[in-house]
């Protein structure tokens, strides 16, 4: 029955030559719903079961809890945001494939969901469209499509928005989650209600008439902590200021863990991110080397960068650094993009570690509160260089 | 002497719970109507035919002998007449072969000079028996004798390696199959050790075959310099380069066979052939092959005459109800027989596989739980459940560009980056690939097997090697 739809489509393609350019689209649909009829033609004559579709869909499953959490914390608007990203980005991708007469690949399934999850919840829909349009074209297609892009398309899109529309991407763009979602008491979440599942606050446009958001604007924990820390660095800071700073850090950590905090849509609930990350590592879809070395790099830098009076405070600051902002989301879903990272396993350790370090350097020493995005994009550039060095060291004795 | 575990190698892949593993029962196949005897079997070059069409031959008679390079005589495996001598394709090469019409008689001409007590044979007669019986063409690089039968000279043999395990997907249970042959195996090994001036002998046994290793140790208790080592049954442990490295700890140089370091690598079945040649003068005209894969009605060990065309085997033992694909060898390195009527089971064939040719399109294949799918990743339910896994010829996905997931790097048993080699070789940059050790590839086929983008990495690497060969 279902099969007949595709058969009909293929017949139409044959009948009407002007429809021919749409073949990649029909092929993609056909291949999506039905497995391949092709058999092996070259040695070895057996192939294992996994294909790129399954590979990508597993990432989608791993990020799905975080996506659902974003709906829970920020309302049904999140669904609309994700849909917009999929539709606009997907269309861009399809148009490119039709023009190039290439097969449509599955890479966009991931970009399309990762991108909205790293945006603030109040982002206007048109901006999402502009961002993903830019990201898909300049992050991926100009380099030759999936498998050849040096930069993570989702991050390119976000970076573009971050620089082009800073007002919508920082500070006031971040809002509090729904008060009826959860509250955290002593590291345990208390569910208050259905949260954003039942609300469609600011569904189409988040802006109200006089430029104020409907929801309560709330600085991200990272920005707040940075503010407190800078106050500490000023002259004439007192013991009181330090206490205030540490108190804020300690108080926020449970919220960071369970997701009741302001931030980008998908990055808030650390527990779900960690679960997704573990699932990806167990399934061998994400490379554990990159994830763990990113976290290690971040932890080590945080340990030395943030001054504290005692070891316990230092460890609190490390935990705060790792859980806050987009660090975990970046480490688990962005650094592990196999295309933009190094191709050698040894290089992956270094790549991850450098991302962790650079993210913390940006957070600590620059004007930006968050640094993981720039860190990953920066290391994307160096991925090829890392590979070169790894291969040079490994094959130093080999005659050319 | 003691049994210890050998150091493992990096990478590799453990095939677990695969459906279609041959059982240990051995069945003798009837003599086929005709046989195809290629004039080069095992290690060595094509020999000069000694018969012509119309001649009558006896089983065990030498029908091809001598050449300019390294060679070992070739025997007729049946009693009958020569139908014609023509070119056939065997293991991807075109070579001359004799096609013999066979009669049903079982008689075999035995070589003279064999003695029941192997230790009474002198060096010359051992060498002659090994050479004339065809045993010297077995093993990875042939058995060195006083004749020109191996790339290695007899004085340069440094060690003898016996492979007593199989790790391919349809691995036969070596321990169970060869349990009854232990005395022959041990006698064969001892005779060879003596022949090669008491070189050390390493026997690699699968760590699952504890009992077999124990009885082998008991049988070899009196000899010195024989080490039995347990090896993990990871594929491609049985390939000569890997086996030599795990057992002796010496690396085989890139692009060379174990003879480069003076190692003679033998399969356990070859030691039985050695024993039979020395004790009874029996030439290598019979062979145990395993029938693996769900394409066969029954998976077992088959005793066949050398030269049996694979079409006979497929006809008698393969399933009729589905389309199947017959492979000469294991499914990862085995070749597909182009012309099954003219493709024989040679001396050097250990296994055959017959897998289902699956062309069905599964609805939403990438979302199915996959109870029967084998995968390097753990994205299928089968990774966590003990169900038997099915191997077939379906690609299980579309061709996609390489996304650098590095599964191939994880799995590669050699220190290589298969995805980089693929990139260089498929773009005609074989020279560049040489810089990242293209020649270290031993063509085990694992990289192509695990690739989620369904890229034929091994095929590209082979093409790159050929390109380099042409340039020379």
Q: Looking at residue A207, what is its pLDDT? A: 58
What is the ipTM, given to two decimal places? 0.87
| Residue A46: both structure tokens together | 């057996």
Distance of alpha carbon A237 from alpha carbon A235, whole angstroms: 6
Q: Looking at residue A115, what is its pLDDT? A: 93
Interchain CB distance below 8 Å, B366 and A344: no
Residues A230-240 pLDDT 10s: 888 887 778 88
* A384 part of contact set with chain B, CB < 8 Å: no
Interchain CB distance below 8 Å, B365 and A36: yes
Of A36, A284, A395, the CB nearest to B398: A36
Q: Which residue has the higher pLDDT, A335 or A101?
A: A335
Residue pair A352/A288 in contact by the 8 Å Cβ criterion: no
**What is the average per-residue pLDDT within A30-59?**
86
Residues A359-391 pLDDT 10s: 999 999 988 888 899 999 999 999 999 999 999
Q: Looking at residue B100, what is its pLDDT? A: 92
Other CB atoms closer than 10 Å to residue A129's CB: what's the count? Answer: 17
Q: Looking at residue A201, what is its pLDDT? A: 66
Of B410, B431, B456, the CB nearest to A42: B456
**What is the average per-residue pLDDT within B323-327?**
89
- Which pLDDT band holds residue A7 (cuts at 50, 70, 90)? confident
**What is the average per-residue pLDDT within A190-215?**
66
Q: Which residue has the higher pLDDT, B93 or B98?
A: B98
Please report residues of B whose CB lies closer than 8 A to that of A145. Answer: 401
Query: Class of B3-7+111-280 per CATH?
Result: alpha beta
Distance of alpha carbon A348 from alpha carbon B402, whole angstroms: 17
To the nearest 10 degrees (0 to 180), the angle between helices A239-258 and A221-233 is 170
* A31 part of contact set with chain B, CB < 8 Å: yes
* A37 part of contact set with chain B, CB < 8 Å: yes
Quick one: CA torsion of B201, B205, B210, B215, rounded to 10 degrees? -40
What contacts A69, CB < 8 A, 6 or more positions away?
Answer: A259, A266, A268, A269, A272
Site from A5, A31, A45 to mutate, B interface, most B CB atoms within 10 angstroms: A45
H helices present in chain A, as ranges = 2-15, 23-33, 52-74, 77-100, 107-117, 125-139, 153-164, 166-169, 221-233, 239-258, 270-282, 288-305, 311-323, 327-329, 345-365, 372-394
SS3 category, A183: strand
Residue A206 has pLDDT above 70, yes or no: no
Please report residues of A whose CB lies closer than 8 A to that of B452. Answer: 50-52, 54-55
pTM metric for this prediction: 0.90
Residue pair A273/A67 in contact by the 8 Å Cβ criterion: no
Q: Looking at residue A235, what is its pLDDT? A: 79
Mean pLDDT of all residues belonging to chain B: 89
Distance of alpha carbon B131 from alpha carbon B137, whole angstroms: 8
- Which pLDDT band holds residue A203 (cuts at 50, 70, 90)? low
Residues B141-191 pLDDT 10s: 888 888 888 888 888 899 999 999 999 999 999 889 999 999 999 999 999
**What is the average per-residue pLDDT within A128-144?**
90
Residues B440-466 pLDDT 10s: 999 999 999 999 999 999 999 999 999
Q: Looking at residue B105, what is its pLDDT? A: 85
Distance of alpha carbon A50 from alpha carbon B370, whole angstroms: 10
SS3 category, A46: coil
Of A16-25, A50-59, B207-216, B263-272, minimum mean pLDDT range? A16-25
Please report residues of B whose CB lies closer than 8 A to that of A34. Answer: 361-365
Distance of alpha carbon B241 from alpha carbon B163, whole angstroms: 12
Is the omega angle on the peptide bond into residue A44 within 30 degrees of 0, that is, cis?
yes
Residues B239-252 pLDDT 10s: 999 999 999 888 88
Q: Which residue has the higher pLDDT, B156 or A170?
A: B156
What does the angle CA B443 – CA B449 – CA B452 come to, to the nearest 5 degrees?
130
**What is the average per-residue pLDDT within A49-56?**
89
- Which pLDDT band holds residue A178 (cuts at 50, 70, 90)? confident
Is the omega angle on the peptide bond into residue B236 within 30 degrees of 0, that is, cis?
yes
Report phi then psi at B40, rounded to 5. -135, 115
Q: Looking at residue B45, what is its pLDDT? A: 86
SS3 category, A353: helix
Residues B266-318 pLDDT 10s: 999 999 999 999 999 999 999 999 999 999 999 999 999 999 999 999 899 99
Edge-to-edge strands, sheet with B159-164:
B3-5, B226-231, B201-206, B159-164, B263-267
For B247-275, letters b (16+ CB in 10 Å) and e give bbeeebebbebbbbbbbbbbbbbbbbbbb
The residue ranges of every structural domain in chain B are: 3-7+111-280, 398-471
State how far the alpha carbon of A129 is from the alpha carbons of A36, A143, B11, B264, B468, in Å.
Answer: 33, 21, 44, 66, 50
Q: Looking at residue A96, what is its pLDDT? A: 87
Distance of alpha carbon A273 from alpha carbon B459, whole angstroms: 39
Closest residue, chain B, to A32 (C-alpha): B364
Look up tokens 């056939």; give the residue: B88
State how far the alpha carbon of A381 is from the alpha carbons of A151, A301, A378, A384, B81, in Å.
Answer: 7, 21, 5, 7, 71
Q: Looking at residue B464, what is its pLDDT? A: 92
| Residue A194: both structure tokens together | 């259905």
Residue A131 has pLDDT above 90, yes or no: yes
Reported residue count of chain B is: 472
Of A162-166, A198-202, A277-281, B319-323, minimum mean pLDDT range? A198-202
What does the angle CA A11 – CA A17 – CA A19 come to, to the nearest 5 degrees?
75
Interchain CB distance below 8 Å, B448 and A148: no
Please report residues of B whose CB lies closer than 8 A to that of A105. Answer: 400-401
Give me the percent of chain A exceeding a pLDDT of 90: 38
Residue pair B282/B5 in contact by the 8 Å Cβ criterion: no
Nearest CA-CA partner of A67 in A282, A336, A269, A252: A269
Residues B96-128 pLDDT 10s: 999 999 988 888 888 888 888 888 888 889 999
Residue B435 has pLDDT above 90, yes or no: no
* A304 part of contact set with chain B, CB < 8 Å: no
Other CB atoms closer than 10 Å to residue B437's CB: what's the count? Answer: 19
Site from B169, B370, B401 to mutate, A interface, most A CB atoms within 10 angstroms: B401
Residue A200 has pLDDT above 70, yes or no: no
Q: Looking at residue A214, what is its pLDDT? A: 61
Q: Looking at residue A357, what is its pLDDT? A: 95
Residue pair B275/B185 in contact by the 8 Å Cβ criterion: yes
SS3 category, A70: helix
Residue pair A321/A327 in contact by the 8 Å Cβ criterion: yes
Residue A209 has pLDDT above 70, yes or no: no
| Residue B298: both structure tokens together | 């029954």
Q: Looking at residue A400, what is its pLDDT? A: 55
Other CB atoms closer than 10 Å to residue A208's CB: what's the count? Answer: 11
Edge-to-edge strands, sheet with B48-49:
B48-49, B62-65, B74-75
Strand partners, B164: B205
Q: Looking at residue B303, what is its pLDDT? A: 92
Of B367, B393, B404, the CB nearest to A45: B393
Quick one: CA torsion of A254, A256, A262, A264, rounded to 10 degrees? -160
* A287 part of contact set with chain B, CB < 8 Å: yes
Decide the pairing of beta strands B159-164 and B263-267: parallel
Q: Looking at residue B383, what is its pLDDT? A: 85
Residue pair B353/B331 in contact by the 8 Å Cβ criterion: yes
Three state DSSP letters for chain B: CCEEECCCCCCCECCCCECCCCCCCEEECCCCCEEEEECCCCCCCCCEECCCCCCEECCCCEEEECCCCCCCCEECCCCEEEEEEEEEEECCEEEEEEEEEECCCCCCCCCCCCCCCHHHCCHHHHHHHHHHCCHHHCCCCCCCCCCCCCCCCHHHCCEEEEEECCCCCCCCCHHHHCHHHHHHHHHHHHHHHHHCCCCCEEEEEECCCHHHHHHHHHHCCCCCCEEEEEECCCECCCCHHHHHHHHHCCCCCCCCCHHHHCEEEEEHHHHHHHHHHHHHCCCCCEEEEEEECCCECCCCEEEEECCCEHHHHHHHHECCCCCEEEEECCCCCCEECCCHHHCECCCCCCEEEEEECCCCCCECHHHCCCCCCCCCCCCCHHHCCCCCECCECECCCCCCCCCCCCHHHHHCCCCCCHHHHHHHHHCCCHHHHHHCCHHHCCCCCHHHHHCCCCCCHHHHHHHHHHHHHHHC
Distance of alpha carbon B20 from alpha carbon B324, whole angstroms: 13
Q: Closest approach of chain A CAs to the CA of B166, in angstroms?
A: 17
Strand partners, B101: B34, B81
Please tell me what DSSP assigns to residue A207. Answer: B
Report phi then psi at A202, rounded to 5. 55, 50
Please tell me what DSSP assigns to residue A330. Answer: I
Q: Looking at residue A349, what is its pLDDT? A: 94
Distance of alpha carbon A345 from alpha carbon B410, whole angstroms: 8
Q: Looking at residue A99, what is its pLDDT? A: 85
Please report residues of B whose CB lies closer than 8 A to that of A38. Answer: 394-395, 398
**What is the average per-residue pLDDT within A81-101?**
89
Residue A398 has pLDDT above 80, yes or no: no
What does the angle CA B317 – CA B322 – CA B327 come to, to the nearest 5 degrees?
55
- Tell me the HSE value of B210 on the side-chain side, using a 13 A CA sphere: 1
Q: Looking at residue B424, what is its pLDDT? A: 92
Interchain CB distance below 8 Å, A284 and B378: yes
Residues B412-422 pLDDT 10s: 998 889 999 99
Element (H, E) at A185: strand A182-185
Decide the pairing of beta strands B351-356 and B26-28: unpaired
Of B333, B365, B434, the CB nearest to A35: B365
Interchain CB distance below 8 Å, B448 and A146: no
Interchain CB distance below 8 Å, B452 and A50: yes
Nearest CA-CA partner of A23 in A96, A87, A103, A93: A103
* A283 part of contact set with chain B, CB < 8 Å: yes
- Tell me the HSE value of B216 on the side-chain side, using a 13 A CA sphere: 33
């Amino acid at each position: 029955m279902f099969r007949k739809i595709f058969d009909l489509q293929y017949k139409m393609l044959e009948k009407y030559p002007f429809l021919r350019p749409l073949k990649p689209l029909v092929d993609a649909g056909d291949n999506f719903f039905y497995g391949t009829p092709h058999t092996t033609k070259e040695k070895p004559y057996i192939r294992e079961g996994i294909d790129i579709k399954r590979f990508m869909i597993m990432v989608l499953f791993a990020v799905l809890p975080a996506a659902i959490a974003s709906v829970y914390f920020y309302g049904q608007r999140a669904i609309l945001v994700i849909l917009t990203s999929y539709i606009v980005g997907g269309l861009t991708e399809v148009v490119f494939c039709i023009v190039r007469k290439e097969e449509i690949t599955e890479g966009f399934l991931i970009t399309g969901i990762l991108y909205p999850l790293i945006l603030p919840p109040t982002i206007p829909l048109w901006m999402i469209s502009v961002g993903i349009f830019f990201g898909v074209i300049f992050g991926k297609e100009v380099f030759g499509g999936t498998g050849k892009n040096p930069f993570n398309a989702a991050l390119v899109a976000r970076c573009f928005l971050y620089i082009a529309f800073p007002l919508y991407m920082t500070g006031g763009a971040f809002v509090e989650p729904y008060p009826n979602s959860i509250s955290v008491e002593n590291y345990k979440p208390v569910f208050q209600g259905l949260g954003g599942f039942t609300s469609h606050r600011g569904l189409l446009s988040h802006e109200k008439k006089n430029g104020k958001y409907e929801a309560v604007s709330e600085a991200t924990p990272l920005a707040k902590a940075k503010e407190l820390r800078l106050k500490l660095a000023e002259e004439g800071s007192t013991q009181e200021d330090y206490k205030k700073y540490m108190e804020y850090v300690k108080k926020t950590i449970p919220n960071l863990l369970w997701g009741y905090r302001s931030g980008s849509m998908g990055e808030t609930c650390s527990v779900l991110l960690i679960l997704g990350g573990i699932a990806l590592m167990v399934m061998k879809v994400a490379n554990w080397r990159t994830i763990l070395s990113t976290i290690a790099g971040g932890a080590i830098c945080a340990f030395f960068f943030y001054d504290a009076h005692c070891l316990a405070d230092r460890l609190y600051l490390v935990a705060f650094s790792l859980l806050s902002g987009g660090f975990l989301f970046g480490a688990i879903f962005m650094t592990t993009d196999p295309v933009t990272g190094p191709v050698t396993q040894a290089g992956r350790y270094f790549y991850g570690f450098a991302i962790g370090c650079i993210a913390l350097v940006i957070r600590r020493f620059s004007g930006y509160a968050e640094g993981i995005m720039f860190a990953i994009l920066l290391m994307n550039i160096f991925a090829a260089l890392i590979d070169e060095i790894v291969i040079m060291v490994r094959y130093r004795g080999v005659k050319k | 002497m003691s049994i210890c575990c050998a150091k493992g190698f990096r990478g590799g892949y453990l095939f677990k719970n695969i459906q279609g593993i041959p059982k240990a029962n051995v069945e003798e196949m009837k003599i086929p109507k005709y046989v195809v005897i290629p004039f080069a079997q095992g290690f060595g070059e094509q020999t000069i035919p000694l018969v012509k069409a119309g001649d009558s031959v006896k089983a065990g008679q030498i029908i091809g002998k001598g050449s300019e390079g390294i060679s070992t005589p070739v025997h007729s495996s049946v009693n009958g007449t020569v139908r014609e001598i023509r070119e056939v394709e065997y293991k991807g090469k075109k070579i001359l072969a004799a096609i013999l019409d066979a009669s049903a008689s079982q008689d075999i001409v035995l070589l003279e000079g064999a003695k029941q007590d192997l230790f009474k044979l002198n060096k010359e007669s051992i060498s002659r028996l090994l050479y004339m019986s065809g045993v010297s063409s077995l093993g990875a690089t042939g058995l060195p004798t006083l004749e020109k039968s191996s790339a290695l000279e007899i004085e340069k043999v440094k060690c003898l390696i016996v492979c007593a395990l199989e790790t391919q997907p349809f691995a036969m249970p070596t321990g169970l199959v060869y349990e009854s042959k232990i005395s022959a195996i041990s006698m064969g090994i001892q005779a060879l050790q003596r022949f090669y001036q008491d070189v050390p002998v390493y026997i690699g046994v699968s760590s699952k075959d504890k009992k077999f290793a124990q009885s082998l140790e008991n049988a070899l208790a009196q000899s010195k310099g024989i080490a039995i080592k347990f090896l993990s049954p990871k594929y491609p442990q049985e390939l000569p380069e890997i086996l030599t490295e795990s057992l002796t700890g010496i690396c085989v140089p890139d692009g060379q066979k174990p003879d480069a370091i003076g190692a003679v690598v033998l399969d356990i079945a070859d030691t039985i052939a050695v024993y039979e040649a020395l004790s009874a003068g029996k030439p290598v005209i019979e062979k145990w092959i395993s029938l693996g894969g769900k394409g066969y009605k029954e998976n077992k060990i088959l005793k066949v005459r050398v030269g049996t065309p694979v079409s006979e085997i497929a006809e008698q033992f393969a399933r009729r109800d589905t389309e199947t694909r017959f492979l000469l060898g294991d499914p990862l390195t085995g070749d597909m027989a182009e012309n099954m009527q003219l493709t024989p089971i040679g001396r050097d064939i250990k296994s055959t596989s017959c897998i289902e040719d699956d062309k069905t399109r599964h609805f939403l294949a990438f979302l199915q739980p996959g109870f029967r799918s084998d995968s390097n990743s753990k994205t299928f339910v089968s990774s966590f459940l003990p169900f038997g896994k099915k191997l077939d010829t379906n690609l299980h996905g579309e061709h996609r560009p390489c996304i650098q997931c590095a599964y191939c790097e994880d799995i590669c048993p050699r220190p290589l980056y298969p995805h980089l080699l693929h990139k260089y070789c498929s773009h005609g940059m074989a020279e560049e690939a040489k810089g990242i050790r293209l020649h270290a590839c031993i063509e085990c086929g694992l990289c192509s097997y695990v690739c989620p983008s369904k890229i034929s990495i091994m095929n590209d690497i082979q093409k790159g090697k050929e390109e380099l060969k042409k340039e020379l």
